[in-house]
Chain A
Amino acid sequence: NAGVTQTPKFQVLKTGQSMTLQCAQDMNHEYMSWYRQDPGMGLRLIHYSVGAGITDQGEVPNGYNVSRSTTEDFPLRLLSAAPSQTSVYFCASSYSGGFLDTIYFGEGSWLTVV
C-alpha cells in the first residue's frame, strides 16, 4: 500500500518555466488536495477535488492549475513559474475531506524557482 505518492521530490525551475507536480493515491479516496508550506505560514490550500472531474480553488490558487481525470491522480501544474512559488508542496487525500476521516499526506515536493 503506497498511500499518497508525489513526484518529483526536488525540482529547480527557472522563472517562466512550466512544470507539473504529480500526485497519485491508491486508497480509492474521493477527496484530494494540494497545499503549499512556507516558513511561518503553515499549510495553505491551493486547489482541491471532491471527485473525478470536479476541482475547485483553495486559499492560494493563482499561478496553479489542476485537473482530475481519474480518482487516483491529481496533478498540479505551474503555468509560468515565479520565485514566489518557491515552496514545499504537499498532496493529500481522504475519503471525505477530513470531516469523517483522516487526511493522508504525501512526502512533499521541494520546489525552487530561480
Chain B
Amino acid sequence: AQSVSQHNHHVILSEAASLELGCNYSYGGTVNLFWYVQYPGQHLQLLLKYFSGDPLVKGIKGFEAEFIKSKFSFNLRKPSVQWSDTAEYFCAVIPSGGGADGLTFGKGTHLIIQP
C-alpha cells in the first residue's frame, strides 16, 4: 500500500515570502499525485494534480508542484504567498493503475501567513 509523508506540520511565513511544502510518497509503481487545500471551516479543494507528462504542474492561485520521480517527491511551491493562503495543505497519492481504496493523504501542513 502507498503512504505519504509531509515534512512540515506547521509553517509560518510572512506575506510575500516564498513557499515550499515537502511531500514524499512511498509506492512501488506509478502514481497520480494531488495537492488539496482546506481553508478554515471549508471543505477540501483541489490545488493541482499530476497524472503524467510534464513533471512541473501549475495549479490554481499561483501554486505549482514538481514531481521528481527519483526522489518520490511532489513538493508544492509558490513564489510569493498572501495572507489568504492561510490554510491546511494536504498531499495525496493514488496508484495510477487504479486505487479502489481511495486516495492516501498525508497528515497535512498547517500554513499561517502573517500580514
Contacts and interface: CB of A to CB of B under 8 A. Distances in A.
Interface of A: 33, 35, 40-45, 48, 50, 56, 58-59, 90, 92, 96-100, 102-103, 105-108
B106 A42 contact: yes
Nearest to B4: A42
Contacts of B45: 105
Given A40-B9, A98-B32, A107-B42, A45 B101 contact: yes
Given A105-B44, A108-B43, A99 B105 contact: no
A100 B4 CA distance: 19
Interface string B97-113: 11111111111100000
Contacts of B67: none
Contacts of A106: 43
A90 B108 CA distance: 15
B100 A50 contact: yes
Counting contact residues on chain B (CB < 8 A from A), the size range is 20 to 34
Nearest to A6: B43
16 contacts: A35-B105, A42-B4, A42-B105, A42-B107, A43-B44, A44-B105, A45-B103, A56-B100, A97-B98, A97-B102, A98-B92, A98-B94, A100-B51, A102-B46, A103-B34, A105-B45
A91 to B, nearest CB: 10
B96 A41 contact: no
Contacts of A99: 32, 94-99
Contact of B101 (A41, A56, A92, A96): A56
Interface of B: 4, 9, 32, 34, 36, 42-46, 49, 51, 90, 92, 94-108
A103 B108 contact: no
Contacts of A56: 100-101
Contacts of B43: 90, 105-108
A97 to B, nearest CB: 6
